[in-house]
Structure 1
Amino acid sequence: MEDIAPHHPQKNPDDLKAYAREMRKKMPTAEQLLWYVLRNRRVAGAKFRRQHPVGRYILDFYCVEKKLAVELDGGQHSEQQNYDQQRDAYLKKQGIEVLRFWNNQMLLETEAVLEVIYSILTKSPPRPLAGEG
């Protein structure tokens, strides 16, 4: 399976940087697709970094100027909701907004996911994802 282990907060900063570099080499298909779209300021002119360390965590995609993190979650996240909630609470205290999508949403509803990201970057209302609203 393509899912990667959670972004562990117990690693020290040097280990965290090395781990982030390793994760960039092993991105799941959904992350590769999102990175292809986000890179080079292709969405609303926003610069994103991938596998970016913040504190003791690694964010899948992070836009520094908008303080926006985009996380793509695989199946392991259904079992680690408490960890994700603690992580999101820490990031919120840092002023970082976190958007979470399932990998299959990115692969099957790419346009809808991108509309949500674009709407946050530009502060315009998105259309609901399939199954919402």
Structure 2
Amino acid sequence: MVSTSIRRATARKLRANTTPHERILWRALRELPVDGTHFRRQAPIGPYVVDFFCPAKRLIIELDGGHHNEDETAHRDRERQAWLEREGYRVIRFWNSEITADLNAVLERIYVELYGSRDAEAVPLKHLRRR
């Protein structure tokens, strides 16, 4: 297992070098009109660093570019997602092209994942810190 300090350093490096699509989604997530919705970006979880993470709902959002279509990368993505799901996280994936083409549809899907339906009332989210 990779040490915590190495994972944190990797996460810091990734935050400093975000892709244009990550920046677009990050701005949109920060402007969600929902009290208590809190996302972290480039968050270390276990041996991985995930793109976006909502601790209160254990929801992970991953953005994938074209290179994720390649066999080896797609295989690593499946293994990674399986590990995260075994640990109790929910993972949703979006292609970078979805961020550019229809950001509102992406945000709507995220809202549904957070609250159960598009018409659900948003309630403040709180996560319990591990002690």
TM-score, with normalisation over the residues of structure 1? 0.81
1:32, distance to aligned residue in structure 2 (A) = 0.1
Once residues 16 and 24 of structure 1 are traced to their aligned partners in structure 2, the CA distance between those partners, rounded to angstroms, is: 12
State the Cα RMSD in Å. Answer: 1.7
2:109 equivalent in structure 1: 116
2:99 equivalent in structure 1: 106
Once residues 88 and 111 of structure 1 are traced to their aligned partners in structure 2, the CA distance between those partners, rounded to angstroms, is: 25
State the aligned residue count: 116
TM-score, with normalisation over the residues of structure 2? 0.82
What residue ranges of structure 2 are gaps of 5+ in the alignment? 120-131
Q: Which amino acid aligns with 1:97?
A: R
1:13, distance to aligned residue in structure 2 (A) = 2.3
Runs of 4+ in structure 1 over 3 Å off: none
1:39, distance to aligned residue in structure 2 (A) = 2.0
Q: Deviations over 1:32-86 (max 9, x none)?
A: 011001126x253310000000000001000000000000111221111110111
Q: Which of the numbers 35, 44, 67 marks the counterpart of 2:26? A: 35
Q: Which of the numbers 28, 43, 55 marks the counterpart of 1:52? A: 43
Once residues 26 and 2 of structure 2 are traced to their aligned partners in structure 1, the CA distance between those partners, rounded to angstroms, is: 25
Q: Deviations over 1:69-126 (max 9, x none)?
A: 0001112211111101110111101110001000111111101111100111110059
Q: Which amino acid aligns with 1:85?
A: R
Once residues 98 and 30 of structure 2 are traced to their aligned partners in structure 1, the CA distance between those partners, rounded to angstroms, is: 19
Once residues 13 and 56 of structure 1 are traced to their aligned partners in structure 2, the CA distance between those partners, rounded to angstroms, is: 9
1:82 equivalent in structure 2: 75
Q: Which of the numbers 52, 56, 65 marks the counterpart of 2:56? A: 65
| Larger RCO of the pair (alpha carbons < 8 Å, separation 6+) | 2
